[in-house]
Structure 1
Amino acid sequence: MSKEDTLAKLAAKTERKKSKVLKALVESKGIVAYACEAAGITRKTFYEWKKDDPDFAEKVDDITEATLDRVEGKLLEAINDDNITAIIFYLKTKGRKRGYVEQIDTNVTNSFEKLMQEVDAEDDEDDDD
């Protein structure tokens, strides 16, 4: 077998693996680890193909976008069913500019320090007795 034949067979095998991982990516709802396992490749190989093969990368991106569309559809169904958790999630993500955000109390440290000072003051009073 010539070198060209060997390279052609290797290229054909790689294309079959790419097709298999793309099919598995659809079935796994875009989860790369599951798709790679199903196709018998490593995540490293998957990401090398994505980096080096624009056609493969475009197909992966299309699958990812289609999966995201389906999931967003499920979220909207939950919202339509008055699922309060879904409604809150939607508002926290899509309603941020309207003020639907959680704020973290940055005074936790100050409150803790104040409490410790009060405890120290009480200890000092006890020592005076």
Structure 2
Amino acid sequence: MGKLTKKRVEEAIRASHGVLAVAARALGVTRQGLYAAIQRHGLEGFLREVREEILDDVEDRLIQAALQGKPWAVMFVLKTIGKERGYTERVEQVSLEGVELKVVDG
């Protein structure tokens, strides 16, 4: 297994794209052991940054798919990023004379 140096932990986190189970296996430790090493070396911010980089890359691919007109991507972007403009499926509850009705759009 070897010592879990800061450098080894960083390399495993980066190689696994922040998936701790994968990084732990590569280091020959449990996820709990890896998490303890992350805390010991103060790498929580590093882990968040690696995961944010992955999200940025995937988000870019999603946007590119939407711009290419792929319907699944267009719908997803509108339902998430476009929700502030009203592109959302929502459930509304209204009450008529004490009787609760559920109206479902979408």
* Alignment TM-score, normalising by the size of structure 1: 0.59
CA distance in 2, matches of 1:53, 1:73: 31
Aligned residues: 96
CA distance in 1, matches of 2:40, 2:34: 10
Deviations 1:63-104 (A, max 9, x none): 111111111111112112111101111111111222222224
Q: Does 1:13 align with 2:3?
A: yes
In structure 1, the partner of 2:44 is 57
CA RMSD of aligned residues (A): 2.6
**Percent identical:** 32
1:1-129 to 2 correspondence within 5 Å? 13-15=3-5, 18-54=6-42, 56-104=43-91
- If asked which structure has higher relative contact order (CA below 8 Å, sep 6+), I would say 2
CA distance in 2, matches of 1:29, 1:67: 7
Q: 1:101 to 1:50 in 2, by over 3 A?
A: farther
Gaps of 5+ in 1: 1-11, 112-129
By how many angstroms is 1:53 displaced? Answer: 3.5
Q: 1:22 to 1:53 in 2, by over 3 A?
A: closer
Greater helix percent: which structure? 1
Gaps of 5+ in 2: 94-100
Of 97-106 and 69-78, more deviation after overlay is shown by 97-106
* Alignment TM-score, normalising by the size of structure 2: 0.69
CA distance in 2, matches of 1:104, 1:33: 37
Larger Rg: 1
